[in-house]
Structure 1
């Protein structure tokens, strides 16, 4: 019988998280077993269950971690800006694009596996999603109120900008023809056109 590789005790949770992230991304939630994750992490089932009592608990933890990190990046980006709506919108776009590029796997899991969360977990984590959405909604509403954004349908504009930025995780290849800095600049321009910015 092949023995499992020795994993430092403190690294167990990280090993499980990394393994689950890779396998969920490759096979999907329903195509992955707890045994698959434990084997990939080099741990026993009992070690996995020490950290996560179920596969559902593990999925919820991954989605929560991803959503929380995204919200924190957006919030930090806005704190660095003044009160000019166009600059703040560019900051949100930058935070989103940079997150989608650096966390492509996490982004894919959060988007594709949300439907596989239990109702209880979806309701619990929906607060984080709504908090991130409010950052965008409040910003665009402020720009409209100040007359610098002229979009007739602010919520549709918000959805369009977010969808465009989120889709980057599906097609962007680091090291290709477009640098990350160029991508951020390009999508900032696109966002300002969508909200009909009048400088």
Structure 2
């Protein structure tokens, strides 16, 4: 900053949140490549200098949006499993419920994480892949435990796990809040589907 130049005006509180919200909305509407850093600053009601106070650029913002989404999903799953106890069938239902509820309540974030992942630079992708792997391990450990204890009888646990995750994740792509299907019913349906896939008896 040159002598006599005033520092960027950064709003008290909400600055980072406003920027992240604007980035999320712009990525969802225009895609990563269709979004400019000026679009995000304008959407947040900030100057470019104020935006750069929080983030180095558009790539960092994409990583931040995906990181926040992944962390929230992982947190919900972790909490659901803690509350479910030790029974594999109950834990499967809890994990399905957490995933379905997240995909419904965070459709925009889920879509961005899925569609814009390829646009992350290697350093961001490598770091965030570790978070994704941790969430996947929750499912893998659950299915493996159910098989080991004879509660799940699927012959191919890895394929079963992938099928359950894919079906739940896809909800973000098609769910319509006004489509006549409520979240509790959706959870019930997908829990039944998951139980059939893992052959829960």
- TM-score relative to the length of structure 2: 0.93
> In the TM superposition, what whole-angstrom CA distance separates every residue of 1:21-80 from its partner, at most 9, and x where no partner exists?
001001111110101111111110001100001111111111100000000000000000
Equivalence for 1:124: 127
CA contact (8 A) 2:10 2:50 kept: no
Equivalence for 1:3: none
Structure 2 unmatched runs, 5+: 1-8
Structure 1's consecutive aligned runs of 4 or more residues displaced over 6 angstroms after TM superposition are none
Equivalence for 1:163: 166
Tell me, yes or no, if structure 1 residue 48 matches structure 2 residue 51: yes
Aligned length: 193
CA contact (8 A) 1:56 1:118 kept: yes
Equivalence for 2:42: 39
Equivalence for 1:29: 32
Equivalence for 2:23: 20
Equivalence for 2:3: none
CA deviation after TM superposition for structure 1 residue 7, in Å:
8.1
The counterpart of 1:68, out of the listed 67, 71, 77, is 71
Q: Secondary structure at the match of 1:9?
A: coil
- TM-score relative to the length of structure 1: 0.94
CA contact (8 A) 1:104 1:169 kept: yes
Distance in 2 between the 1:120 and 1:18 partners?
23
Q: Secondary structure at the match of 2:14?
A: helix
Tell me, yes or no, if structure 1 residue 177 matches structure 2 residue 180: yes
> In the TM superposition, what whole-angstrom CA distance separates every residue of 1:151-179 from its partner, at most 9, and x where no partner exists?
11111111110110011111111233211
Distance in 2 between the 1:88 and 1:53 partners?
41
